[in-house]
A and B are shown apart, each in its own frame.
Chain A
Amino acid sequence: MLKQELDDTYLALVERHIQQLRFPQGVLLSAQLGKGNEGMKYLLCSQNSRNRKWFHRFFTSRSQIYSYTLNPRNDSGAIVLGELRDQGLASAANSTAQAAEHVESFFNVLRRELAFYIACLNLYDHVKALRCPTAFPQPAPAGMHTFSCTGLCDITLALTMKTTVVGNDILDGKALKLPDK
């Protein structure tokens, strides 16, 4: 599942997001006009891919771009520009932080679930060292009250005594009844 979900293509996509979040081509914000023609709804957008379909590029005229460079001493301008950028980044920053929380939570769950299997393997090693027999039980279909085994021993007794214990055989066809609490 991990191989399938987190394959190289996916990891490359994540890597691309990490690169993009450094904004090498500047912060691209979409906006609309509110009351008084003041900008509002600033939203971080991703740059349109250069690989867009050729007919889309062919039939869509590219917008004119107007540019303005601040005087290096224009501190108030730089502050305003920074505040606009912060407004646009707020939503994407929220999504990124939530994504980080999801990733962290996913790996925490993965660690807990793996811990169960690692504990089983550790137990297997112990039991093997004590020369107790091991096997994967074969479950019978639900409703079939049958149970059989060969050399079934009390594992807690073996672990406490730290030695091999004698097992029991139960013949085929015995009905199994689990005691109530």
Chain B
Amino acid sequence: MWLPHNKTSPKGLELESNYELYGNSDAVIERAQEPICFPDLNLDLVIKSITASKQEYNLQLLYWTPLHTAETVCYRQQVFQDLENNLLMAHIKQFAQSMSVMRRYSAMIEKLDYEYHKKDWFLETAIMYCTALSTLASCLEGIPLKSAALATFRIYLADYCKSSAFQSLTADSQKTKQALAEIKYCVIIESGKFKVKRYEDEADYSIEVENTFSKFKQSDAQNYLTHIPVMTGTSHIEAKILEFVVKLFPEPFALLDGFCTEHNQFLDKTICAFDREIQFYIADQDFIAHLKQQGLPFCYPNIGIS
């Protein structure tokens, strides 16, 4: 229920998604099967090598889908040429990395058992999404773009980031996170039981100890701090503690409930499509860069129309 779902356009946002990263309407229908000639030409190995590090995007389908017009080829070549700008490439890779982390959070939510753990990870997903998009939009602003695909996407992204839906998503997620971050509580652990209460300005005991014995201090002492590995995941004990914390601080959790209801589907279909499709170009560029490093020459072919 708390997984972000794709939708065409967010509430209150009437954006026309004119951008096509592939520039070919008939290429949008991706071929589901590898062409028979690929193994004969060893192209299957090439595609495998290009897409090896990008399994999550299922990019091989894009490589299997043929293009039919020279115009489309040129349209894609322009994107490749834009991506030769290292700065642009770095920004897009950073965006892709954030989106990948966001998807990992989403996948994790399905495996969690407790409601408010799921809801907060959902909130984290939204925060990651907002940050990734805002960062990319501001980074793209000053970068010269020649390709129609990326230039159109930049306009779309800028409009999307200014939309009331995205602004509301950003503001609500930050407000909710802030409210939750301000919660401070106490756990009193006794033998075989524990209690949970609000934090009431109890003093940090280690500082009291330091102050009491500071008169003996003549030089810096050895660091005795033991690194205790923090467990990942949530146990039933932590879930119980959280249940008590929810009772002690109902307002921030009401905000979280409201956020999850209001923004339960926040992913934009066009942004998600861009996130995947740009990987086609990134994978290819990385592959070519590797070949260039080996001293092999590379150029973009000129496609004639016959």
Contacts and interface: CB of A to CB of B under 8 A. Distances in A.
A169 B106 CA distance: 97
A149 interface: no
Q: How large is the interface on B (under 10, 10 to 19, 20 to 34, 35 or more residues)?
A: 35 or more
A28 B223 contact: no
Contacts of B194: 67-68, 81
A170 to B, nearest CB: 42
A43 interface: yes
Nearest to A42: B187
A102 to B, nearest CB: 4
Interface in B164-207: 180-181, 183-190, 192-207
A13 B201 CA distance: 21
Contacts of B184: 30-32
Contact of B213 (A36, A92, A102): A102
A106 B218 CA distance: 7
A78 B192 contact: yes
B216 interface: yes
A13 B218 contact: no
Contacts of A44: 204-206
B274 interface: no
Given A66-B247, A68-B240, A99-B212, A76 B235 contact: yes
A36 B232 CA distance: 10
A26 interface: yes
Interface in A78-104: 78, 80-81, 83-88, 90-99, 101-103
Nearest to B235: A80
Contacts, number: 199
A60 B242 contact: no
B208 interface: yes
A121 interface: no
Interface string B89-131: 0000000000000000000000010001101110010000000
B225 A99 contact: no
B68 interface: no
A51 interface: no
B210 interface: yes
A179 B81 CA distance: 86
3 A-B pairs with the lowest CB-CB distances in the bound complex, closest first = A99-B213, A63-B198, A45-B202
Given A44-B204, A68-B194, A94-B225, 6 more contacts: A38-B234, A63-B197, A64-B197, A83-B231, A87-B228, A90-B228
10 contacts: A45-B204, A66-B196, A83-B228, A90-B228, A95-B210, A98-B210, A98-B222, A99-B212, A99-B213, A101-B221
